[in-house]
């Protein structure tokens, strides 16, 4: 099978093929007609689908559209952001960051003599496609704020660990030096900050903080991609394909939408309700700002579920202790709060307990022994912490969700919740959204 000849997705295939000519300094050595080993295309290949979904795999492998979509986007990078990151040979990193931030906050015209790569990068983010309903974005952000304020801080570490469950998708993180505690904390902060700050009122407007955060995340991913392809001794194109491909960004951007789809499906529904629809559109716009194509941003219940299952069915299974295990352990050990006061340490331990439980259920199918082998040990004191605090956390979440839907009180509740989110962002500290190439290891060690 040739990726560049994908009959069901000719425009995506053309984008993949064009990367080599559009940016030869990054993609010049890539043969886009060769399928990397990470793709589990054989019926007997072990894949990343959880055991309870294994029965879906034969049907997914027989679905040509699903197979072509996953294989094509496995080789799709981010040319406009990659081209800007490739300017590292001409500009210091701090200058690239400063110019990008200025362009986001004040407009490209505020950057003195901006490089053409920056002009095209910003223009691509400003060019909102017609498949995004901008009228629902702010409503979706508001409908996402309560859970962002009261649930996400308890689960963000556990959800972040999910990106380390597979050697093929986790290796780029290892190459950036994320195996150390401080670097691991920095990466969790950046991920948490992006998904949190984008829910604030007006954050995704053209000059909002969320728009800027998305641009910085894209630059960070592009720097990882650039260094992995051009400077790493460990990156093997025949094994891993493109570093941080667009398909690998879909699970993080869509995990909350997947959970919405699962709940709706269990309730016997075939369509999202009004509130859910706004949250889906909000999530799709965030993914667009991160560079994902329309094909990776489904808007229906069945489309979202199909996307996740197809991704797992075609990603080769692999968990090695030197990469995945080390990333999991360093992330679990990291102290995420900015301060080291007794209350901050206590809150950090409580959050770790919830993240461990989330990991055990979400990524080890409830098997504590399997989770322990992966680097996460759910102990008796973790269970006690969860049991003691769950009534408070769940009660607060439920009360806020109910109040947010009431007339008059809803507006007051939203302002309060917005304040909670801002305080949470303050507790995490400033996220730099950068990838410092001086910390990279050619081998990931």
Return all residues near 384 (Cβ < 8 A) that are at least 6 apart.
none
Q: Is the pLDDT of residue 255 over 70?
A: yes
Half-sphere CA count of 432, side-chain side, radius 13 A: 11
Count of helix runs (H) and strand runs (E) in the chain? 21, 0
pTM of the model: 0.91
Q: Is the pLDDT of residue 445 over 50?
A: no
- Answer yes or no: are the C-beta atoms of 140 and 279 closer than 8 Å: yes
Model confidence at 179, pLDDT cuts 50, 70, 90, reads: low
What percent of the chain is predicted at pLDDT more than 70? 94
- Burial grade of 158 (CB within 10 A; 0-12, 13-18, 19 or more): buried
Q: What is the mean pLDDT of the chain?
A: 89
Gap between the Cα atoms of 358 and 184, Å rounded:
18
Place of tokens 């949190």: 196
- Answer yes or no: are the C-beta atoms of 157 and 332 closer than 8 Å: yes
Q: Is the pLDDT of residue 436 over 60?
A: no
pLDDT at 220: 92
Q: Which of 152, 148, 176 is nearest to 164 (CA)?
A: 176
pLDDT in tens, 358-388: 889 888 888 899 889 888 999 999 999 999 9
Q: What is the largest CA-CA distance in the chain?
A: 60
> Apex CA 69: angle with CA 173 and CA 193, to 5°?
35
Model confidence at 180, pLDDT cuts 50, 70, 90, reads: low
Q: Which of 285, 257, 274 is nearest to 133 (CA)?
A: 285
Model confidence at 85, pLDDT cuts 50, 70, 90, reads: very high
pLDDT at 204: 96
pLDDT at 439: 46
Strand partners, 196: none
Q: 388: how many CB neighbours lie within 10 A of its CB?
A: 11
Mean pLDDT score, 167-187: 71
Model confidence at 442, pLDDT cuts 50, 70, 90, reads: very low
pLDDT in tens, 48-78: 998 889 999 999 999 999 999 999 999 999 9
Q: At what angle do helices 181-197 and 152-161 cross, to 10 degrees?
A: 120
Q: Which two tokens stand for residue 352?
A: 């770790």
Model confidence at 215, pLDDT cuts 50, 70, 90, reads: very high
Q: Is the pLDDT of residue 1 over 70?
A: no
pLDDT in tens, 217-231: 999 999 999 988 887
What percent of the chain is predicted at pLDDT more than 90? 68
pLDDT in tens, 129-153: 999 999 999 999 999 999 999 998 8
Gap between the Cα atoms of 322 and 328, Å rounded:
10
Chain center to CA of 434: 15
What are the helix (H) ranges across 267-336?
274-289, 301-314, 326-333
């Amino acid at each position: 099978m040739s990726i560049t000849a994908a009959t069901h997705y000719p425009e995506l295939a053309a984008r993949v093929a064009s990367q080599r000519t559009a940016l030869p300094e990054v993609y010049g050595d890539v043969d886009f007609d060769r399928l990397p080993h990470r793709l589990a295309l054989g019926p007997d290949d072990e894949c990343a689908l959880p055991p309870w979904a294994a029965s879906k795999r034969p049907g997914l492998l027989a679905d040509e559209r699903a197979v072509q979509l996953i294989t094509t986007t496995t080789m799709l990078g981010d040319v406009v952001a990659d081209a800007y990151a490739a300017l590292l040979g001409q500009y210091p990193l701090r200058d690239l960051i400063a110019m990008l931030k200025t362009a986001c906050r004040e407009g490209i015209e505020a950057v003195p003599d901006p490089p053409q790569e920056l002009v095209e990068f910003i223009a691509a983010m400003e060019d909102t496609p017609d498949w995004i309903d901008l009228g629902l974005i702010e409503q979706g952000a508001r409908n996402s704020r309560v859970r962002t304020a009261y649930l996400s801080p308890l689960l963000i570490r556990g959800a972040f660990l999910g990106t380390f469950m597979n050697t093929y998708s986790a290796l780029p993180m290892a190459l950036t030096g994320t195996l150390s505690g401080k670097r691991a904390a920095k990466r969790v902060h950046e991920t948490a900050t992006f998904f949190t700050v984008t829910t604030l009122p007006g954050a995704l407007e053209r000059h909002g903080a969320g728009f800027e955060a998305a641009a910085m995340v894209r630059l960070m991913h592009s720097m990882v991609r650039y260094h992995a392809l051009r400077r790493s001794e460990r990156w093997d194109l025949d094994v891993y394909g493109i570093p941080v491909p667009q398909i690998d960004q879909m699970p993080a951007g869509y995990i909350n939408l997947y959970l919405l789809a699962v709940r709706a499906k269990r309730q016997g529904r075939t369509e999202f309700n009004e509130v859910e629809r706004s949250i889906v559109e909000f999530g799709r716009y965030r993914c667009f700002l991160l560079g994902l194509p329309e094909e990776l941003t489904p808007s229906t219940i069945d489309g979202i579920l199909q996307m996740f299952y197809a991704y797992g069915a075609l990603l080769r299974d692999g968990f090695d202790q030197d990469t995945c295990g080390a990333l999991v352990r360093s992330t679990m050990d990291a102290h995420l709060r900015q301060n080291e006061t007794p209350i901050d340490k206590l809150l950090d331990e409580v959050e770790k307990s919830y993240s461990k439980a989330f990991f055990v259920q979400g990524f080890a199918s409830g098997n504590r022994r399997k989770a322990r082998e992966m680097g996460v040990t759910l102990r008796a004191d973790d269970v006690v912490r969860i049991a003691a605090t769950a009534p408070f956390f769940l009660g607060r979440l439920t009360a806020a969700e109910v109040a947010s839907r009431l007339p008059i009180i809803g507006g007051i509740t939203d302002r309060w919740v917005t304040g909670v989110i801002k305080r949470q962002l303050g507790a995490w500290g400033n996220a730099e959204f950068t990838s410092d190439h001086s910390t990279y290891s050619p081998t990931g060690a």
